[in-house]
Amino acid sequence: MANVVVVGSQWGDEGKGKIVDWLSERADVVVRYQGGHNAGHTLVIDGVSYKLSLLPSGLVRGKFSVIGNGVVVDPHHFVAEIAKIAAQGISVTPDVLRIAENAPLILSLHRELDALREDSNSGLKIGTTRRGIGPAYEDKVGRRAIRVCDLGEPETLMDKIERLLTHHNALRRGMGAAEVEAQVIHDELMAVADQILPFMDRVWELLDERRKRGERILFEGAQGALLDNDHGTYPFVTSSNTVAGQAAPGSGLGPTAVDYVLGITKAYTTRVGEGPFPTEQDNETGQFLGERGHEFGTVTGRKRRCGWFDAVIVKQTVRTSGIHGIALTKLDVLDGLDEIKVCVGYELDGERIDHLPASMGAQSRVKPIYETLEGWKETTAGARSWAELPAQAIKYVRRVEELIGATVALLSTSPEREDTILVQDPFQD
């Protein structure tokens, strides 16, 4: 049985929640391996919507779940999210969830710094969720982060906080903000320590043992590969690696633990926040896609930018994430269009190219080259077999496969998990 990594192949919001939920029934363990509570998943189960942003999606199915060391954890949000889904009947205890002892923590000063930067009149606006994700990762890389395991060592915690504040208070002075007292951060952490520590574990060891027992592991990524700190539209990216390769270091397992990479891919393209978007349609088409697709952020509620499917960027993420097959989502949003455009290349300064350039300047200058496909009037919503799809919809799917160099393993035709056409089971690699 294969271990599967789920990764978004665009800028996030591709519908990973439903697909992870669909796959989690076949998995034994579900692992979050990067990001924080800035990325939301909406799961619809028996008509009930569950909105998760930090907790692994497998919890709503009672699957053993893990928050890996590659995730930055806001301890107060963690407690609040557990309480929120408990009110919906989902009990979360250490019997079903563990957190890596070496996972970095998001503190109130991280959220404040995020907001200070976004509200500044100088510098580049990234369009973050203001959840403190970036500053928390900065402290991790800077070797001054407070980690989950530090909550269990209160006798040395204050020293670590003071070392952290040497850096942060210097930043705050420079931005005209009041300094933070160490005792405030200490009290903030101690208020939730007893609720966090029971979940702490050596997850690298736990996952290795379960893998050796033959249990199937589903690695759940947040956001999308185009927000990757190395391979995305830098600097309009997140502060972690979002490509599939992060599943190994973000969970404590080696790369040989990964058998299959499933790229979640929306049948059109969306983006939240700032940054380049070659196929964006700031017109009636974009409005149509946004309204039909209910394109609002799960976490922020922000309206998503919408545009045509970009085969260039998806082909690129197929390669940077080693994607074996894709789960194509929201095909039904395209129902009723007379024609559908697909970006098959770019023009950059008069030259045709087949990739997204690395530089910010070049990314802003690329112009999409479109191929126009015939649309379909029949509905694809709720289809559960190829026979139920209109002929032109099938042609669209096949053309997408040709252009991106990967096959469709799953086809999603509505938010309901049962409305899924299985072509290739990733767990049967």
Binding residues: 12-18, 38-42, 129, 143, 223, 238, 298-304, 330-332, 412-414
User: Residue 314 is encoded by which pair of tokens?
Assistant: 């998806």
| Four-residue CA torsion sign, 226, 23, 103, 133 | positive
DSSP 209-267: HHHHTT--EEEE--S-GGG-TTTSSTTSS-SS--SGGGGTTTTT--GGG--EEEEEEES
**399 Cβ contact partners less than 8 Å away, ≥ 6 residues apart:** 342, 371, 373
User: Residue 66 is encoded by which pair of tokens?
Assistant: 């893990």
User: Residue 124 is encoded by which pair of tokens?
Assistant: 């580049």
State the binding site for Mg(2+).
13, 40
Q: Dmax of the chain from CA atoms?
A: 68
Classify 353 as helix, strand or coil.
strand
* Cα 45 from Cα 336, distance rounded (Å): 27
Annotated catalytic sites, by residue? 13, 41, 140
**105 Cβ contact partners less than 8 Å away, ≥ 6 residues apart:** 72, 73, 74, 75, 136, 145, 146, 147, 148, 150, 151, 189
* Cα 248 from Cα 244, distance rounded (Å): 8
Reported for 165-172, long-range contacts at CB under 8 A and 24+ positions apart, including other chains, are 165/109, 167/139, 167/142, 168/109, 168/113, 171/113, 172/113, 172/116
167: left (phi over 0), alpha (psi -120 to 50) or beta: alpha
State the binding site for substrate.
298-304
Could you tell me which of 269, 239, 233 has the C-alpha nearest to residue 364? 233
Phi, psi dihedrals of residue 255, rounded to the nearest 5° = -65, -20
State the binding site for GTP.
12-18, 40-42, 304, 330-332, 412-414
* Residue 406 burial (C-beta neighbours within 10 Å; 0-12, 13-18, 19+): buried
State the binding site for IMP.
13-16, 38-41, 129, 143, 223, 238, 302
* Cα 270 from Cα 166, distance rounded (Å): 40
DSSP 282-295: -SHHHHHHHHHTT-
